[in-house]
């Protein structure tokens, strides 16, 4: 099978970690008889440097022509990078928001898993993490505060800024369905997170989610307020299977969930639309402070490539092969600096990629 994959290497550690994921994909191709056709796409700071803007229309077109896109990370250090002297609509992040909207990537899946081998890195007490945890944050990605009307103006001599939060029932229903579909393949529990004690948009969210739940009698639905959810994530993370939530809450809670695993360098993510197309990227950021040093952990990007094989190409066996190889590298004792602990063998980005390839 020919896999037509767009690649956004991005900024910071992006190019290093994506190169390793491409190497792993090529290795999978070699073993299982596929060929990967990679199309390089520029986005974020890398695009600003060349084109003056973080995402061009040609790049959007080229991305749409691919079957899936693998991405590193975008953005730089806001206090030192010249990209942040530009107006907000021209900064690296604007490119990311634009590609999400243009490709209609409304469903963002962010798994947060406590790896047995990496339990030591988890900041929570052992009595809380005993038995591990494995949750999927399902974040709505093309609506809400991120894409509402905003303005900054002087009203009656007072500077006033406004951001509006809008959701319609169609947007809520389609992400809710995705959440329940995923739950059916997991432990069949959905925790829908909102702020229904204050917000109208959350009250509509809750109503529509309850309607969708009727079509999934096997799935248990629980509603939780977002502030409580922030607490529960550190108090008892095992209670969660699928967390279904809107854009801004999902942004915040997914960072919290990844942090409690203690190993953000291991967490993949996928952003999907109604077709098989997806954008796959590590959950972590561009880490400009360690860029170019060859020490970044490529595993999250490599696992994102596995998600891509699974969701966009239906290549489950190949995705399993990558995930197993990552598991074996860990059990063989290899670690990048971010997940290093005593008695383990410390390796760099390229070596980690090689070790995973050897096990496929
Ligand atoms: C994320 C990031 C982005 C977001 C930023 C970079 C715009 O934090 O993917 O979670 O807020 O969605
Ligand atoms: Mg975020």
Which letter, b or e, does each residue of 49-84 get, where b requires 16 or more Cβ atoms within 10 Å of its Cβ?
A: eeeebbbbeebbebbeebbbbbbbbbbbeeeebebb
Nearest ligand to the CA of 256 is 2
- Span 111-133, pLDDT tens digits: 999 988 898 889 999 999 998 99
CA 282 – CA 302 distance, rounded (Å): 8
Instruction: Show the tokens assigned to 28.
Output: 């999978």
Residue in the structure block whose two tokens are 């801004």: 248
Q: 185: buried, middle or exposed (CB in 10 Å: 19+, 13-18, 0-12)? A: exposed
Residue 127, pLDDT score? 93
Residue 121, pLDDT score? 87
Task: State which of 138, 141, 251, 282 you would mutate to test the pocket of ligand 1, scoring each by most atoms of that ligand within 8 A of its C-beta.
Answer: 251
Q: What is the DSSP string of 231-257?
A: HHHHH-GGG-SEEEE-HHHHHHHHHHH
Q: Where in the chain is the domain with CATH 3.40.718.10?
A: 1-111+264-360, 123-260
Residue 203, pLDDT score? 98
115 by DSSP, 3-state: which?
coil
Q: What is the CATH number of domain 1-111+264-360?
A: 3.40.718.10
**Whole-prediction pTM value?**
0.95
Q: What does the angle CA 56 – CA 110 – CA 15 come to, to the nearest 5 degrees?
A: 45
Atom of ligand 1 nearest to the CA of 251: 10
**By the 8 A CB rule, do 337 and 346 touch?**
yes
Expressed in angstroms and rounded, the spacing between residue 255 Cα and the centre of ligand 1 is: 10
| Atom 5 of ligand 1, nearest CA residue | 93
CA 18 – CA 10 distance, rounded (Å): 9
Q: Average pLDDT for consecutive 10-residue bins of the chain (360 residues)?
A: 97 98 98 98 98 98 98 96 95 96 97 91 92 96 97 97 98 98 97 98 98 98 98 98 98 94 93 97 94 97 97 96 97 95 96 98
CA 285 – CA 147 distance, rounded (Å): 21
CA 24 – CA 29 distance, rounded (Å): 9
Residue 120, pLDDT score? 86
CA 354 – CA 352 distance, rounded (Å): 5
CA 71 – CA 282 distance, rounded (Å): 8
Half-sphere exposure of residue 355: CA atoms within 13 angstroms, side-chain side: 22
Q: What is the CATH number of domain 123-260?
A: 3.40.718.10
């Amino acid at each position: 099978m020919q896999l037509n994959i767009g690649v956004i290497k991005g900024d910071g550690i992006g190019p290093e970690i994506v190169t390793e994921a491409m190497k792993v994909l090529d290795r999978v191709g070699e073993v299982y008889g596929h060929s990967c056709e990679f199309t390089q796409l520029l986005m974020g700071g890398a695009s600003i440097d060349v084109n003056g803007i973080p995402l061009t229309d040609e790049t959007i077109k080229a991305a749409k022509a691919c079957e899936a896109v693998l991405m590193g990370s975008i953005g730089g250090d806001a206090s030192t990078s010249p990209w942040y002297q530009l107006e907000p609509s021209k900064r690296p992040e604007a490119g990311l928001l634009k590609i999400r909207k243009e490709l209609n990537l409304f469903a963002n899946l962010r798994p947060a898993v406590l790896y047995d081998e990496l339990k030591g890195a988890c900041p929570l007490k052992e009595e809380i993490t005993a038995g591990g945890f494995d949750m999927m944050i399902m974040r709505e990605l093309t609506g809400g505060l991120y894409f509402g009307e905003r303005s900054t103006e002087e009203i009656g001599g007072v500077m006033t800024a406004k951001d509006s939060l809008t959701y319609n029932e169609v947007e809520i229903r389609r992400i809710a369905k995705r959440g329940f579909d995923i739950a059916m393949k997991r432990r069949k529990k959905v925790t829908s997170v909102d702020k229904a004690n204050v917000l109208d948009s959350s009250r509509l969210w809750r109503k529509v989610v309850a309607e969708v739940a009727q079509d999934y009698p096997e799935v248990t639905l629980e509603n939780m307020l977002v502030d409580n959810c922030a607490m529960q994530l550190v108090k008892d993370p095992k209670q969660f299977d699928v967390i279904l939530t809107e854009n801004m809450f999902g942004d915040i809670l997914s960072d919290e969930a990844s942090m409690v695993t203690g190993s953000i360098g291991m967490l993949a993510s996928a952003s999907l639309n109604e077709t098989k197309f997806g954008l796959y990227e590590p959950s972590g950021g561009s880490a400009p402070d360690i860029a170019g040093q060859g020490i970044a952990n490529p595993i999250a990007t490599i696992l994102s490539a596995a998600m891509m094989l699974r969701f966009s190409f239906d290549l489950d066996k190949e995705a399993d092969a990558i995930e197993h190889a990552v598991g074996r590298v860990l059990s063989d004792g290899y670690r990048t600096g971010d997940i290093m602990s005593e008695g383990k063998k410390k390796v760099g980005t390229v070596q980690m990629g090689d070790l995973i390839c050897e096990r496929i």
